[in-house]
Amino acid sequence: MITTDFFGYPKLYNRISWAIAIYTTTGIYCFYTAIKYFFHNETSLLAWQPILVAFIFASLLARYIFLMMMFIDGQFYRKKLKKKHVTFDNKTA
Amino acid sequence: MLSFINLLSPYYMYIKFAHVIFVMMWAWSAVQAFTHYLIPAFSAWRQRPDDENAIKRRNWAIERFDDGVLFEHIAFPIVIITGLLLYVLGGWSTSANWLLLKLAIIVVLMIPIEIADYYLAHFGGNKARIRIAGDMQRYENMIQWHWLFFLITTPIIMLFATTIIFLAVVKPF
Ligand code: HEM
């Protein structure tokens, strides 16, 4: 028997959104800073201020990704979407 | 290498045209199908996971979408190749901050996302091929992984594709 229940749920989305936000911010920061450091001898990004900005950005990004995931997955609008998207060949929906 | 640069440099603007036109194709070709066909089909299934009609329509939508992203996936390597050409021919370097940030986003986000997307749509995760092979458990699993992939990547692409294009066009720093 194949189960068609989706394995995703809000708590998982929250964890994923944090993981992705941290990966993204760290990745972009490290890539940018490493090239500036090794190829241009620039160290201006190796200070607490840019790191603080990156941290704030990561937090906002995590929140944004989480809300978008919930929204696209229809977690906020169950009732509204039901009428609109369950359709013509399924009148009982 | 030098003669290669000499040969192509008069065509810099033509290559830039190709870069931009394929960026358009990459960025927008799947949007309408995604928003108005795929999402409604998946929403219906998410609300009624056991509804046969909803499942049928979801399966049809994702199989069509696997083919639909072909435009995007032809465009992406062309964007990368023409981008690299512009970089070399234009004498650009990573001292251009906008370009470095753009490259960071492409390397950290876009390339891994596209690799996963190629796999899910055309290679091991191609739904039509899995269905024809008769492995329906894998079919269902792949559809669900693909849905999780969309949930994760949609916000990322919306934000960062716009950022890349903004950086390249405005060159703000
Ligand atoms: C997803 C990938 C990419 C997107 C969305 C993108 C987007 C763009 C756009 C819209 C422009 C036009 C800017 C303008 O005409 O003012 C541009 C220009 C440019 N791109 Fe890309 N690009 C991508 C990948 C790359 C890559 C991988 C490289 C190089 C390694 C690259 C190098 C360049 C260069 C050097 C220009 C400047 C052309 C100029 O202003 O003369 N791009 N890009």
* Rg, Å, chain B Cα set: 19
**Model confidence at A78, in pLDDT bands (50, 70, 90)?**
low
pLDDT of residue A5: 87
Q: Given an 8 Å threshold on Cβ–Cβ distance, is B137 in contact with A2?
A: yes
Question: How does pLDDT run across B97-136, given as a tens digit for each residue?
Answer: 999 999 999 999 999 999 999 999 999 999 999 999 999 9
Best of A12, A42, A70, A90 to substitute, by most chain B Cβ atoms within 10 angstroms, is A90
pLDDT of residue B47: 85
Here the contacts of B100-105 (C-beta below 8 Å, separation 24 or greater) are B100/A32, B100/A35, B100/A36, B101/A28, B101/A32, B101/B167, B102/B164, B102/B167, B102/B168, B103/A31, B104/A27, B104/A28, B104/A31, B104/A32, B105/A28, B105/B160, B105/B163, B105/B164
- B66, B38, B50, B51: which is closest to B124 by C-alpha? B66
**Model confidence at A74, in pLDDT bands (50, 70, 90)?**
confident
Q: Given an 8 Å threshold on Cβ–Cβ distance, is A28 in contact with B144?
A: no
pLDDT of A55 over the 90 cut: yes
Interface of B with A (CB under 8 A): 39-41, 43-51, 53-55, 57, 94-95, 100-101, 103-105, 107-109, 136-137, 140, 144, 147-148, 150-152, 154-156, 158-159
pLDDT of residue A93: 39
| Residue B60 Cα distances to B63, B70, B89, B108, B121, angstroms | 5, 16, 45, 32, 13
ipTM of the modeled complex: 0.94
Burial level of B32, CB count in 10 A (0-12/13-18/19+)?
exposed
Residue B67 is encoded by which pair of tokens?
């083919």
**Model confidence at A91, in pLDDT bands (50, 70, 90)?**
very low
Here the contacts of B85-92 (C-beta below 8 Å, separation 24 or greater) are B85/B8, B85/B15, B86/B12, B86/B15, B86/B16, B86/B19, B88/B5, B89/B5, B89/B8, B89/B9, B89/B12, B89/B15, B90/B12
- Which residue has the least CA distance to atom 27 on ligand 1? B80
pLDDT of residue A29: 98
Average pLDDT for B56-69 = 97
Nearest CB among B46, B53, B150 relative to A89 is that of B53
